[in-house]
Structure 1
Amino acid sequence: MTPPEVDDRTLGQLLRSALPRDPNRRLVLVHGRYAPAARASFTVDVGDTIRTVTVADEHSVLGVLDAWQQHRDSGDDTSVLVVTTGVPDNVLGWDVRGHALRQRTLTVDRAEIVAQRFGAGEVEPRVRREPWLLDALLTAEPPDGWSRTGPVLTYAAAVRALVAVRFGLDDAAPDAGTLLEWSRTTGPDRFVALPPAEQDGLARWLGETVGPFAGLFTRLVRVGRATDVLPLGVLVSLIDEPDVPAQTMMAVGSLLGDVVSDERSRDAFVTAVLGTLERWIVHAEGGGLGAAEARDRVGEVLDRADTIATARGIEADDHPFLPSGFRGRLAAVAAALTPQPDDTGVPAALGALDRLREHRIARLLPERVAAAEMAVRLMRWLALPEPTEPGPVAHAVAAHLRIGGWVDRALTAVWAGEVSAGAAVGHAFGRIHDAARVRRDRQDQRFATRLRSWTEHAAAAAPGGALLVESVLDEVVAPLLTENDAPLVIVVDGMSAAVAAELGEQILDRGWTEISRDDAGREAAVAVVPSVTRASRTSLLAGRARTGDRNAERDGFTALWNRHRRGAVLLHKSDIAGAAGRRLSEQLVEALADPATVVGVVLNTVDDALDHGREGDRTGWRLADITYLPDLLDAARSYGRPVVVVSDHGHVLERSTASEKGGDGAAAPSARWRTGTPGEGEIELRGPRVLEGDGRVVVPWDESIRYTNRRAGYHGGASLAEMTVPVLVFVPAGDRPVPMGYAVLPAESTRPDWWNGRPTASPPTSVPAPPARKRKPAKVVEDTQPTLDDMPVPAAVTPVPPAPPPTRTVGRRVIASSRFTAQHASVRRAPEPVQVADLIDALVAAGGELTGTAAVARLGRAGRDPGIVLAHLQRLLNVEGYPVIVFDGRTARLDIDMLYLQFGLGGS
């Protein structure tokens, strides 16, 4: 029998336990072979003394005798000679054994030594039955020793300690995800360098601990394919995809080569790989510490998987994880984009878009998905009926704010396109953009026709049913005044309906509730002519049609609010910034703290961006992009002030590819208005609200016309985007009364039906007229065009589709159930059953989600704090804690399957 290999650490532990019984012995015989790399001389603590140890590896009687003789002749009476040998005791004889410790050759009990190194009295029997484990524990001991485990060293504790050292893992009991991350380190190289017996033992333990996944995983590591473990798992998942061609199945099967696997281990392997990638994606999506690294890991793995697929001829253009699958699904969306006069192609486009959104990396590529979403939205809009006659000006600007602005928002994103898209995708986006732009041009032309006759007579005393920009403060803002409250008026210079659509959504996420005087949606005012800052902003802030500079704006603002017996402060850009350590100026903070003072702030970010070219390739605006806007909103909320976010005019963007200027540039003081004779794409406007050109100007309705050098965008013209002035009104969210004359405006009612969700059976095609305003009798503007009732204009839709008949709805079935009756009787302050049914039906119709504002409105508690109201609803519907209704602070979500189960409604 071959003697076991021992090293200096094994001998040291043996001497510590054996020498104290006979401390004067200088010869120790040990059955074994001394490891070549072990130290030939070392010291060991024996009781209170330190003994020097010399080791000789001799496997003959003469060798043993000679080593002992030389040690005796050395003259060192304190050192110990250890001779490792395979010579039996009966061959050595008593001449040598008589000098040796215990007069015999000692056998190393590796299990006992291992136990001592762990500070244990004994080891679990299984540890003794695993020679590979004992060998590994003796050779892998860290410099500072093994951690103490207790009186008995168990098999599980021993292997976990070994794994922590061999795998380099902090977690001594790794799971599948930990091992997959470990596969991307140098750990696998160290693993395959271990003795085969130890590799086998660790693989068995991983199989027992981690499950079937470990079998295929360790086999791939042992054949040197650790770096491709994750990419291979992604590709092997193709086996589970429906309708995979036989050729692809064979190519995927060949990926594992000679690595033996069964279906159970393969399924576990794929599940672990995809689960790990999903976890990384969630981490990357959430931002924060390590998000960029997680994103890079995902990209590396999936790019490598795509490379392998290409090399092996594997078709994966619909794979739910691979970048090629994302590109394939994006191409499918593009293929479904066909501008049609009806909605026959819409279902295919929506289905393709759903597939794209479901792709796992879609969440990491929001800008690429957004371009496809916007293109499909434009396709849905193009499928709606188009009015052929112009509507009244008031109706047109309202429709533009509620619909046209969303169209323009989508057009901007689709114009920018999809940076990584192929030619086919780019061409498809271009076709949709151009078709939508042509339709918007027709709207602008029809609007210009009506605007021309309206402008001749329109004035504050005779607005023709329209809200004028110079009347916004009196008609919209003044009603918000109370004895202890005054509003904050934020003028976002140049904010178009498209920009307002984006900012309005984001403001709601900062703890605000939107309100309006018009149940149909947000209100829009009409800019003065030309729609430039000097005229329109001064008119807005002074409360009358006039031109002027900042001083005129400030004086007019103060005078207007003095007429309402209120003090007022108007601040421009240079007045807003605070001193060191303060974001807002002391003057602004003091004004906001005074509830009797109306505060106005002018923000120039959007208008400046048009001049300085910062919006040329942008596809949207965030609150943080508007300097000081988030700070002003937070300050206003802390003081409980209502906020009115209003523009003075809108703008059009530079989207042409030509460099020619339109019209007579010499007669153009501005980019979008001039004097002279109108040409193609232009109209002449005159009347009391035309504040330049001696009351007569030429302005383009065609957005591609400009009179000055190229910039990022322009204003001053007669297009809907320029003449529409968005007026958004907000109050701090919570249990506070809504100002008289206003009602809560759910987020759903601010968006057109074609923007979100699925088409309803009968999409509405008209918008109610603006609310009637109490005025003194005034001259009516002569208008020979058809009346409002004759003019159907596309409009924002109601928050959710109409519910089915009461006796058949899901909500009615819920409140009729015995479980609901019992719950309602036991829950305090529970909403009324009919209102609960209405909310359930609204959630079902809206695809399972509504904003908290819309949900509480359905419960008849508009304006109340959604968190408090929905908490009562959750106690009612979330039987035994199961999440039928979930509210995340912004959105209420219904789990329809859980609802059916908990209230016994049968199959969903």
Structure 2
Amino acid sequence: MGEAVAVSQRPVDESQVRAIAAQIGERDRRMVAVAGAPTWEGPERLETDAGTVRVLAAPSTLAVRAALVAHRAAGDHELLVVVTDRDERELGEEVVAELWDHRVVRPYGWEACKRLFRAEMLDGQLADDRWLVDLLVDHAPPRGYPPVAKGVLDADTAWRAFCRHGLGLRVDRPSTLDLLRWAEAGEGTKTLGRLSDDDRARVIDRLVRETDPGALPILRLAADGRGPRAVGLGLLAGVLWSPEAVGEAAATARGRFTERQEVLQGPDPERRARGWARAAEALARERLADADPNVPALLADVEHQLDQLGASALVGVSDLLPGALAARLATVGTAITETLDGHGTVEAALRALGRVQAHVRADEDPQAARATHAVRLAARAQGPATSSEAADLADAARRWIDDGAWVDEARAAIAEGATVPELASALSALLARIDAEREPEDRAFAAQLADWSRVEPLGAQGLLPIERVLDDVVAPLAAQRPTLVLVVDGLDHPTAHRLLGDIEREGWAAQEPADAPWPAVVSALPSITYASRASLLSGRLVAGEQNVERDNFAAHAALRKAGGEPRLFHKRDLKPEEGRLGEEVRDAITDVSRRVVGVVVNGVDDHLDKGGQLQLVEGLHGVRPLAWLLQAAAEAGRVVVVTSDHGHIRARRTKTRVTDGGGERWRPATSEPNDDEVAVAGPRVLRGEGEVVLPATDAIRYTPADKLGYHGGATPQEVLCPLAVFAPASAELDGYAHVAVTQPPWWWDVRPDAAARSEPDVEAAAPAAPAPAAPAPPSTDPDGGLRLFDDEETASAEPQETSGEAEAAGAAARGGVAGQPAWVTELLASPLLAEQRARAGRAALSDDDLAAFLAVLARHGDVATAGVLQRETGVKGVRLRSKLQALRRTLSVDAYDVVRVDTDGTVRLNRQLLAEQFQLEQA
């Protein structure tokens, strides 16, 4: 009969027995079992309007059976009332069949329920839910329920009270996710197990109706005592019933799962499985974010179960399973290889990359980042080629800063390789292609550098000698506002991309001269600290150590003219080992009477000297003093100038070439340069008596020291120095304009299109087709940038319909406003969205902002970087970050993340989940 169900221990009184006798009447003289404490303090026989009633207590199943046998044998026409704490399952089918109404009667009903809620009346709807009234009485807390407002217990309040107090749920209105937590913790088994079969069925039915079909298998597992398995089985169901799980093997696996886990049996198992899976995935993501040590074993078990079902090939459809990430990375590798061979398309690689980026572990797996860079390079390879040679050094420098530095950032990433064979092969092929492209460009740059350096190059258009930075940039800024000069020693352009982007995301506004972009800053030669940093901080070409830098900075005439005595600090002044910024440095920065403060941060150069054990520091928080320095500058309202004294090359393919004297990447001009070297002479050369030989590629070095990187050579990575100016968000600088950190078009265009949202890979199941012809080149934007995907609203538009009237008419036909996808219009009218806004309060996003962000995401395949969002919405800095969080809160129902915001500001919209949660037909 199953586990016993606890029956209320409340005593039964005489008035309740009389009420039961009146309900039964005189015609039925069978025995009636009444639930209550198995005691009776009244008379053995009661005279009632319905006749004589005999009452006795039965504290056990055996006592009830004995009373029934005696009553039957006596042929007594009296109504026998047995007060017992046994339930129907304990009494057995034979006994229950002999009882009145074939059940144990709960006698408490309306009056007891009113007392427990201190109510004067009950909602009439509860008349149809007498089972709920009985359950409220049976499971009442010792001191009753919270008193109801206005003395009326309505049906909804009654149900919510039972959920919290009778079922032990921690919320009055549970979601499927709440039910999963409750079931997994074992509370579901404990509370559902106390109910009769009929009551349990009623409770489960109502919980499912108030959540979604996915709650049914969870509740069935809880009722069977298998609640702790609900998360793992839900994840498994999510794989098997994924839209991507197609083919005979998947169908067979679903059949086996349903046979073994009957909780999905019944109509529409697909809806139940997917609702269940959403809750399981949400809970697993929460625990992964909390670094729950039990989750890896859970995910490993799911993969094992997939294998047992013969469905291990489906592992790749999961966003959580460890094996899925490797499978998806392999798909990206294959797609890149096919693209490079001319047999595939960038679009296919982008779709595969979108699947990688959707995996929960993608942000922390270095192979995922390398795959992203690889697809970017593949997209660039299919874009328009630049065949013409640079006209001069300024042209070559601008080309490298705008494009080559981004190539070098991606190249450095993919050079780390991969453990997934398909991806490793693709990275190797890409690396060889980029190396072959870059070597002649570096040699040409080195030759132009040698020509330019023969004379003092102060008047060169588009170039800024490093010794002019203080005069031409810092001093004019300091005349407007107090200024902090941050010299990040050894910072090159590729490494600076992440750092400068992080600074902007902290709320600083990047500034450029209003009439032209920043010129390229060229180091002194050779590009080493001793020569170039001293020249930068002295304002003239000079070599020297820190004392030379400090004295010349303090004595710089233009800086002194701005106000106060300039002050320069070095690493030992920062005291990062103490976990805070040195007091002397902080006091100098916050003292706005001192117009210029300079700080040298050795975050990059220090790591280059650590050999192969450390990777280069990336980002603002990789070098602790930077965040502290920016905080102090923000408090003082200072403008911040970020630059470096030189760049560096990575040690990936450098080979030692023995020389007499010199440094890592320069040597005295004691012999003629080789093909991969360049002789440089002139006033900018501060070593080797004014003439040195420098490597013209990144393939050689002159010292055997094993480091992560080297500098001193003539490549753009080493010679060109980043320069950026940041102002507080509220500040305005005369002659400057705010500009977002920009990337080349092929860098922005790494975005998966809508097909990556989880549509089945129908091509995988189709017969093999002949190899396609080489794809046509991607279309281009009017400004020449590569455009890999047409916008959703314009892809199918007729060319002649370009007027504003036609656009408005087309939008109206779709049910929306001009330029707004129809599903966005549908969402804005959703009652659930109104509820979400009410919950969010002042933190909710307005209709205009919500529509603007969703329109941008739709145009970019539901994934957009922070740069794209800034450019297309006009929202920047701290305001962008705030609005993105509001977007996430507004659209996330029951803790399911419809919108995900990555740490780098990239926003990902799960449109399928959005459509399901808000019941959108057009999404």
The C-alpha deviation readout for 1:520-551, integer Å capped at 9, x for no partner, is 74432111111111100001111111101112
**Aligned CA distance change for structure 1 residues 692 and 298 (closer, same or farther; 3 Å):** same
Distance 1:256 1:519 in 2: 69
Pick from 518, 525, 528 the counterpart of residue 521 of structure 2: 525
Which residue in the other structure is 2:347 paired with? 347
Which residue in the other structure is 2:696 paired with? 701
Query: Is residue 2:306 matched to residue 1:309?
Result: yes
- The residue type paired with residue 747 of structure 2 is W
Residues 32 and 84, structure 1, Cα contact 8 Å, conserved in 2: no
TM-superposed deviation, 1:491: 0.7
Farther off after superposition, 706-715 or 472-481: 472-481
Distance 2:666 2:477 in 1: 35
Which residue in the other structure is 2:657 paired with? 662
**Aligned CA distance change for structure 1 residues 842 and 806 (closer, same or farther; 3 Å):** farther
Query: Is residue 2:687 matched to residue 1:687?
Result: no
**Aligned CA distance change for structure 1 residues 160 and 257 (closer, same or farther; 3 Å):** farther
- The residue type paired with residue 246 of structure 1 is E
**Aligned CA distance change for structure 1 residues 441 and 108 (closer, same or farther; 3 Å):** closer
- The residue type paired with residue 434 of structure 2 is A
Mapping of residues 354-753 of structure 1, within 5 Å: 354-357=354-357, 359=358, 361=360, 365=364, 367-384=366-383, 385=385, 387=387, 389=389, 391-418=391-418, 421-455=419-453, 457-461=454-458, 466-482=463-479, 484-517=480-513, 521-562=517-558, 565-566=561-562, 567-577=565-575, 583-586=581-584, 588-595=586-593, 597-613=595-611, 616-618=614-616, 621-656=618-653, 661-664=656-659, 666-670=660-664, 673=667, 676-677=670-671, 678-679=673-674, 681-706=676-701, 707-734=703-730, 736-740=731-735, 742-747=736-741, 750-753=742-745
Which residue in the other structure is 1:70 paired with? none
3-state SS of the aligned residue for 1:545? Answer: coil
Farther off after superposition, 423-432 or 301-310: 301-310
**Aligned CA distance change for structure 1 residues 579 and 449 (closer, same or farther; 3 Å):** closer
3-state SS of the aligned residue for 1:514? Answer: strand
Query: Is residue 2:335 matched to residue 1:333?
Result: no
- The residue type paired with residue 754 of structure 1 is W
Mapping of residues 278-293 of structure 1, within 5 Å: 279-280=282-283, 291-293=289-291
- Number of equivalent positions: 754
Mapping of residues 109-148 of structure 1, within 5 Å: 110-111=107-108, 115=113, 118=116, 144=142, 146-147=144-145
Distance 1:604 1:671 in 2: 19
Distance 1:152 1:178 in 2: 28
3-state SS of the aligned residue for 2:246? Answer: coil
**Aligned CA distance change for structure 1 residues 491 and 120 (closer, same or farther; 3 Å):** closer
Distance 2:274 2:8 in 1: 46
Distance 1:17 1:453 in 2: 109
Distance 1:403 1:282 in 2: 37
- The residue type paired with residue 556 of structure 1 is N
**Aligned CA distance change for structure 1 residues 640 and 145 (closer, same or farther; 3 Å):** closer
Distance 1:58 1:534 in 2: 96
Residues 848 and 894, structure 1, Cα contact 8 Å, conserved in 2: yes
Which has more radius of gyration?
1
3-state SS of the aligned residue for 1:755? Answer: helix
**Aligned CA distance change for structure 1 residues 297 and 892 (closer, same or farther; 3 Å):** closer
Distance 1:811 1:733 in 2: 35
Distance 1:434 1:478 in 2: 45
3-state SS of the aligned residue for 1:702? Answer: coil
CA RMSD of aligned residues (A): 5.5
3-state SS of the aligned residue for 2:252? Answer: helix
Farther off after superposition, 442-451 or 334-343: 334-343
**Aligned CA distance change for structure 1 residues 203 and 610 (closer, same or farther; 3 Å):** same
Distance 1:603 1:383 in 2: 39
3-state SS of the aligned residue for 2:568? Answer: strand
Unaligned runs of 5+ in 1: 19-30, 42-54, 65-82, 98-106, 286-290, 767-793, 822-837, 875-886, 898-906
Residues 541 and 684, structure 2, Cα contact 8 Å, conserved in 1: yes
Mapping of residues 7-406 of structure 1, within 5 Å: 9-11=9-11, 14=13, 110-111=107-108, 115=113, 118=116, 144=142, 146-147=144-145, 163-164=163-164, 167-190=167-190, 193-194=193-194, 197=197, 198-210=199-211, 212-223=213-224, 225-237=226-238, 238-239=240-241, 241=243, 244-257=246-259, 259=262, 261=264, 266-277=269-280, 279-280=282-283, 291-293=289-291, 302-314=299-311, 315-323=313-321, 324-338=323-337, 340=340, 345-357=345-357, 359=358, 361=360, 365=364, 367-384=366-383, 385=385, 387=387, 389=389, 391-406=391-406
Farther off after superposition, 484-493 or 752-761: 752-761
Residues 531 and 715, structure 1, Cα contact 8 Å, conserved in 2: yes
Distance 2:183 2:575 in 1: 52
**Aligned CA distance change for structure 1 residues 694 and 180 (closer, same or farther; 3 Å):** same
The C-alpha deviation readout for 1:857-898, integer Å capped at 9, x for no partner, is 999x9999988xx99xx9xxxxxxxxxxxx99x999999x9x
Farther off after superposition, 435-444 or 226-235: 226-235
**Aligned CA distance change for structure 1 residues 580 and 538 (closer, same or farther; 3 Å):** closer
**Aligned CA distance change for structure 1 residues 812 and 892 (closer, same or farther; 3 Å):** farther
Residues 342 and 383, structure 1, Cα contact 8 Å, conserved in 2: no
- The residue type paired with residue 748 of structure 2 is N
Residues 516 and 523, structure 1, Cα contact 8 Å, conserved in 2: no
Which residue in the other structure is 2:779 paired with? 761
TM-superposed deviation, 1:322: 4.8
The C-alpha deviation readout for 1:794-852, integer Å capped at 9, x for no partner, is 9999xx9xx9999965878679999999xxxxxxxxxxxxxxxx999999987799999
Residues 378 and 407, structure 1, Cα contact 8 Å, conserved in 2: yes
**Aligned CA distance change for structure 1 residues 682 and 250 (closer, same or farther; 3 Å):** same
The C-alpha deviation readout for 1:447-478, integer Å capped at 9, x for no partner, is 222223333x1325465863211112222323
Residues 9 and 37, structure 2, Cα contact 8 Å, conserved in 1: no
TM-superposed deviation, 1:272: 2.5
Residues 442 and 696, structure 2, Cα contact 8 Å, conserved in 1: yes
**Aligned CA distance change for structure 1 residues 700 and 16 (closer, same or farther; 3 Å):** farther
- The residue type paired with residue 710 of structure 1 is D
Distance 1:614 1:469 in 2: 30
Unaligned runs of 5+ in 2: 18-30, 42-55, 81-103, 751-776, 819-851, 888-900, 912-921
Which residue in the other structure is 1:103 paired with? none
Determine what percentage of the aligned residue pairs are the same residue.
27
Residues 668 and 675, structure 1, Cα contact 8 Å, conserved in 2: no
- The residue type paired with residue 439 of structure 2 is D
